[in-house]
Each structure stands twice: as structure tokens, then as C-alpha cells.
Structure 1
Amino acid sequence: MGPSSNFDPNQPIPHKSLDNTSLSPSRVILKARLHCSAQTINRMFLQRSALTAARRVAARPAVARTFTTSFVRRDAARPATPNEQAAALAGSAEKKVGSYKTLKEIRTEEDLFGPGAAPGTVPTDLEQSTGIERLEILGKMEGVDIFDMRPLDASRLGTMKDPIMVRSAGEEQFAGCTGFPADSHSVHWLGITRERPIERCPECGSVYKMDYVGPEDDHHHHHPPEFEEPKTFADYIKPEYRYK
């Protein structure tokens, strides 16, 4: 060391204290900046997580479909033409199909044939069905249940003035009576025909009457029946006393 130096080898070397109270102003500012940066980073992460969660959750409306749309769909007209029925069955706005007769135009068995599918396409039931199956499909397209399998009205007792009506598309129909109130006795099968449209249950006395909905002319009257119906006691009752 030079002669002008103030260094004294006998004096201890001074050192800076590690206590926080002795930090320089620059270190205090740096620590404050680090603390603020940590708060800012935490706030950014929270904002990003909230935005991500909001994006992942799909917004669901309170009502899936407006009530106005529901009323319109309920009151919508049923398809009446072949193209409208084919489009409704295919679930599309428009579909071309060959000509065929709708339910109100059916008169004979020859009317229950489909137009067939276009070449190179798969036929639908509406295009290829025939016979009774086609009649049922045409009825469903217009909201008519051809094979009405609902049970007969058992909420009241049928009388001669107000009988329980039984729909029938044929010349003969069997009706099962379970009594009044319902299931008060075992089933009694009553046969009703177009010639004798009214029958009374022998146990509860409920009256049933045929409501014929079939064709007026079935084209089967040109020859006598193959077997004559056996005579019963009811055949010898005068018609005016039959339903007394």
C-alpha cells in the first residue's frame, strides 16, 4: 500500500449487515416492484382462468323453443299431397315422389300400391309398401289411426238410446265387454254385424252398436255365402221385439 493510504491492518474489515432494516433504497424499490409484479401475475392468471371457464361452458337458454313456435308446429297443416308426405317422411323441405293415391282417394285394393323408388335409390316404406301396411302408413301421414286399438268406453253403461259405439271396417266385429264398472266381470265377447249392429252383454246389460267405417260396396255380393249361418233362437224373434 502507498504511504498516503488510510488502511490500517490492525482495524477489522467492515461488512454490511444482513438485516432487512439496513437495505439500501434501491433494494427496497426492487423488492416493492417484485411484490407488485407477483400480484399482477396472479390477477392475470385469475382473469384467464375465468375467461377459459366461461368459454367452455355453453350458454343454455331458459326455454328450448319459444311458445309461439310450439303453437305454430302444433297447428301446422298435415301433408296432403304425395310430395308433401314424402318430404315429411324423409325429414326434408322438398322431395319428389311418384304419383299415388292418398288416404281419402283409396277406393279399391288396386289403390294400395306404391309408386316405387327412383332408379339407384333405396325405397322408403311410403314408396314400396302395399296393402294393409300402406293403408296404415297413409293414415298416419294424415293423423288417422286406422287400427284403433284403444279399449272400449267403460266409464258408463251402454243403453239402447245411448249405446257404446264400436268402430268396424268389416262386415263383422267382436267386442269384448268387461262390465260396468270396468273389470266387474270376466270378458264376454259379443259378435256384431252390419245386419245386426246392436248387441247387449248378457251379464251387465251394457249395449254396444257397430259404427261401420268400411267401404259401402265391397264387391263381394255376386255369389251366395259358401256356408249358411246356423239358425239360433234369435232368428225367430220378430225384428220389432229384438231390441226391446
Structure 2
Amino acid sequence: MSSLSFASLFALRSRLIARQTVRSFTTRSALFNAAKPTYKTAASLEEVNGSETLIGQGAKEGTFPTDLEQATGLERLELLAKLQGVELFDTKPLDSSRIGTIADPILVESYDDYRYVGCTGSPADSHAVEWLKPTVDQVARCWECGSVYKINPVGVPQDDHHH
């Protein structure tokens, strides 16, 4: 048996796979004649104009894509913000100097009608992380320390059917 280089084995494999996945003429014709997207991919926060501008353009042929080239949606928006020194999402820790109570819960701001909260107790890191899900209608209480968390809605969209 002759010894083949890795590159020649890869090329041979690619040709065999290509033979197995031959498309019909009509499918290939439809793919070839498909309209190209008319949007411009946003390269900065100022250029973002709807979700279609948050689709990454992908890598150039023969290269691996960078995070920014392949990121889409909220991930791309977050990366564009970080490039400009803006922190898009609130990732600051919650108040752990006290235990929240029913009368005085720890408020968690949210643009949605719920949020996941990781409680580590008071003082911070006094117990393992307990994940809670307070909603607009119901507070959440930590099973470990008893701290209560409540959603403080900030601009919850009405009739947002994103599911």
C-alpha cells in the first residue's frame, strides 16, 4: 500500500463525500440563483439597524472565522459593544450585604418578566450557588439562606411574542 499524505487523504475523502451528496439540477439551480442578502452587516453599534444587520459575514474562504465574523444576534451586539468599551449586559453582582426578606426583598432589575439569580448567601460566598427564578408575579426564596429576591421590571415589553 502506498503512503498518502494527510492532504491527499483529505482531498480523496472530500471527493468521495461530494459524489455521495450530488444534488439534482433543479436544487443546484435554485441555490445558485438564490437572491443574495441586501443588508449590510453592522461593524459598529451605530450601524446596527435591526436584527438582519447583526448577522456575521463569516470567514473568508480558506480561513477560520474570528468571533466577530461568525457571531450573530445578541452575541454580535455584545461583541460590538465591547469593542467600543460599552458593557451591554448588567453583570454586576447583586447586593449581598444583607438577607432579603418578604417585606424588604433584594430587587433584581430585568427587561423580561423573569430573571435567573444565583444566590451565594450573605455575606457573599457563605454557601454554594443556589439558582432561583423570580418572576414579575412571584418572589423567589433561597433554600439555603432564606434570602428573598423580587423582579423590578424596567421596560418589560408588552405583547413580546419571542418564543
Whose helix proportion is higher, 1 or 2? 1
Between the two structures, name the one with larger relative contact order (CA 8 Å, sep ≥ 6): 2
